[in-house]
Amino acid sequence: MYELLQQISKDTFSGKKLEFDIYGSMATGLAIDSSDLDIAVSGAFECGPIDEKKNMINALSALNNNLEGLEYIKSKQFISSAMVPVIKLLIDFDKLQNSTKSTDATAIKLINVDIIFISPAMGEEKKEKF
């Protein structure tokens, strides 16, 4: 699923050098069955001193549009007005396995995924903290 979301992002922003980071409880190993998958993407938009948030929202909107109609996405919500704009997905693993011809059985049937975009500067700050 993570790889599919990476590929859709790369297709949406072809020609851009994207970086993907998993953060939150899945990254720290503290996840429980009900935890969501948090993904931060950098490199999808140009940042300037004035229009950074507008560019971030426009880039997230483009990705949101390309996620439309995928059978394994049970629900999708784009929250552009949040302090950190986010795309919230609910992924159906049964439909995902059918669409990718995967035979891996998993006990988890649904997972929430949050996708945010970060500016290159935020990405560098984050890397310094780890």
Please, are residues 9 and 44 in contact by the beta-carbon 8 Å criterion?
A: yes
CA distances (Å), origin 61, targets 8, 14, 41, 43: 13, 15, 14, 15
Checking if the pLDDT of 99 tops 90, the result is no
Please state, in angstroms and rounded to a whole number, the distance separating the CA atoms of residues 116 and 112: 13
Q: Over the stretch 13-53, which tens digit does the pLDDT of each residue have?
A: 999 999 999 999 999 999 988 899 999 999 999 877 678 88
Percent of the chain at pLDDT above 70? 83
The whole-number pLDDT of residue 129 equals 41
Domains in the chain: ranges and CATH: 2-129 (3.30.460.10)
Q: Is 33 exposed, middle or buried (0-12, 13-18, 19+ CB in 10 A)?
A: exposed
The pLDDT tens digits for 63-80 are 999 999 999 999 999 999
Percent of the chain whose pLDDT exceeds 90: 62
Q: Could you tell me the end-to-end alpha-carbon distance of the chain, in angstroms, rounded to an integer?
A: 25
